[in-house]
Structure 1
Amino acid sequence: MIDFSIREINKRDTKYLAELDKVCFAVPWSEQSFIDETENEMAYYYVATVEEIPVGYIGFWKVIDEGHITNIAVSPEYRRKGLASAMLEKVIKAAYDNNLYLLTLEVRKSNLAAQSLYAKYGFESLGERKNYYHLPTENAVIMTLILGDN
């Protein structure tokens, strides 16, 4: 296991997160997108750091009594070290703390490792969004975790 911490993101993180997105995604978010999320009252974002350097992040939007996980990313050299699980646990706890009924997300149909991670935490596949992703074009699997009335 690696020594890391998880905290809420701030504007100082946005440059690092935009660079991380370029490594992790074919269509990355811009630094301005991350800045906008820090100012969005519906957005909750957390960053995983190693020696104070951001190496992963996760975010979700709270809309009434539902949460939607927008992104989860971990730098390639820190994958399979428990960061994604810890960040997902942080979001699930935040969802409970905010009395959310459910959490949803989309994941590439070919990303079986991520689907397996989400299933481990109780997310279930509810269907697909056709041609949701680009570069390459691919369907998204819609996954949902029912938290219930809490």
Structure 2
Amino acid sequence: MEQTKQACQTAHIRWMIRRDMPDVLGIESDCFEFPWTEDDFIRCLRQRNCIGMVAECDGKVVGFMIYELHKNRLHILNFAVHSNYRRQGIGNVMMQKLLGKLSQERRNRIMLEVRETNLEAQLFFKNLGFKAISVLRDFYDDATEDAYLMQFRYQPSAEELAQPHNRITRMAG
């Protein structure tokens, strides 16, 4: 039985809540050969610096992302859009939400690992401006497979570059 593509006019991004877990687990098993378990999600989301977001379409959860907050970067741990809702901009809307959290002063980059066999994800992130910066040999526990470490660096706008920074200047007297 082949699944048909679903149309999504507008994706709404919000915080992940406990009752989203069945939908998130369904998307996870739809998208990945080696899916995270519910325990994996819960263990991750219980950490203070771990954030979960979902993309909703007509009240239905169709995508999610899990990321960690670090001092100067964000690290995407898990990111997926249900196969029936791909290529409609849902992943882009989720990423724009995340890219909006970057700034020159604080968190100025996003990092993630992508399986060497996941060409679709590699191209998705490359099209958003991510660059592969290194190969992580035999990265995964579930398979003998390398990962590409990909990074997006924040580029300040012309307005931000023109703004004087509130720096304390030393004056010799």
Task: Identify whether the pair has TM-score above 0.5, normalized to the shorter chain.
Answer: yes
CA-atom RMSD in angstroms: 2.3
Q: 2:67 aligned to 60, 65, 89, which one?
A: 60
Change (3 A) 1:27 1:110: closer
Partner of 1:21 in structure 2? 28
Distance in 2 separating the partners of 1:24 and 1:98: 35
Partner of 2:8 in structure 1? 2
Higher share in helix:
1
Deviations 1:41-84 (A, max 9, x none): 21122101122221111121012112111111111111111111
Q: Which 4+ runs in 1 deviate beyond 4 A? A: none
- Code of the residue aligned with 1:90 in structure 2: it is K
Matched, 1:95 2:102: yes
Partner of 1:80 in structure 2? 87
Q: 1:105 aligned to 103, 112, 137, which one?
A: 112
Distance in 1 separating the partners of 2:73 and 2:133: 16
Partner of 2:168 in structure 1? none
Q: Quick check: which has more Rg, 1 or 2?
A: 2
Higher share in strand:
1
Per the alignment, in what secondary structure is the counterpart of residue 27 of structure 1? coil
1:26-65 alignment runs, 5 A limit: 26-65=33-72
Shift of 1:120: 2.0
Unmatched 5+ residue regions in structure 2?
Answer: 1-6, 161-173
Unmatched 5+ residue regions in structure 1?
Answer: none
Compare 63-72 and 134-143 and name the one that shifted more: 134-143
Compare 92-101 and 122-131 and name the one that shifted more: 92-101
TM-score (norm 1): 0.86
Shift of 1:37: 3.9
Per the alignment, in what secondary structure is the counterpart of residue 58 of structure 1? strand
Q: Percent identity?
A: 27
Alignment coverage as a number of residue pairs: 150
